[in-house]
Amino acid sequence: MSQLSFSSFDAALMVRDSQGHYLPATADQILDAARQAIEQKMQRGASFTSPVAVKEYLRAKLAGFEHEVFAVLFLDTQHRLIEYVEMFHGTIDSASVYPRELVKEALRLNAAAVIISHNHPSGSPEPSAADRALTQRLKEALALVDMRVLDHVVVAGSSTASFAERGLI
């Protein structure tokens, strides 16, 4: 979280404690509020009309975690959001991802396509060799049940890296 600076917001962002007193919001409280706001903005049926909208949504959901989180946007045939699911949580530099569990969830939600994403708490959005290999394994597993992987977005603070934009999908 060293990339984010909330010092200029100290006087403007306040939260109320259980006794009704207002106190300056912490960075974690601000990030939680941002996640709730993006959840309300992009509800079931919302259409992801551009890569910019996808990256903005995923940045708001995944930035600020101190451990890796692997999340999936499950989409219908029109690329509208069915559900956002944080499927796997890991350590500061890795998360175990199980293709079988992703396929099961995609089938349960009757998804036609997915956008996979995870964060890099290190602050660098550069996809690793392991990220590339995982993306390929997930593409192959989902292809067996006629589902497409549209993108894999790596979030690192306010930066993102899109596999689709880099021609890696």
Residue at 85 is within a domain: yes
Same-domain pairing of 63 and 33: no
Residue at 167 is within a domain: no
CATH number, position 108: 3.40.140.10
> Is there a contact between 97 and 70 (Cβ–Cβ < 8 Å)?
yes
State the average pLDDT for the chain.
Answer: 86
148, two tokens: 């497409």
Domain that holds residue 58: 47-162
Residues 6+ apart with CB under 8 A from 81: 42, 43, 44, 45, 46, 47, 48, 73, 74, 75
Is this structure's pTM higher than 0.85?
Answer: no
pLDDT in tens, 5-48: 445 544 567 777 788 777 787 766 666 666 665 555 555 567 77
Same-domain pairing of 70 and 127: yes
Radius of gyration of the chain, Cα coordinates, nearest whole angstrom: 17
pLDDT in tens, 47-59: 777 888 899 999 9
pLDDT in tens, 56-82: 999 999 988 999 999 999 999 999 999
Mean pLDDT of 131-148: 97
Residues 6+ apart with CB under 8 A from 78: 47
Residue at 1 is within a domain: no
Same-domain pairing of 24 and 77: no
The pLDDT, as a whole number, for residue 88 is: 96
Q: How many domains does the chain have?
A: 2
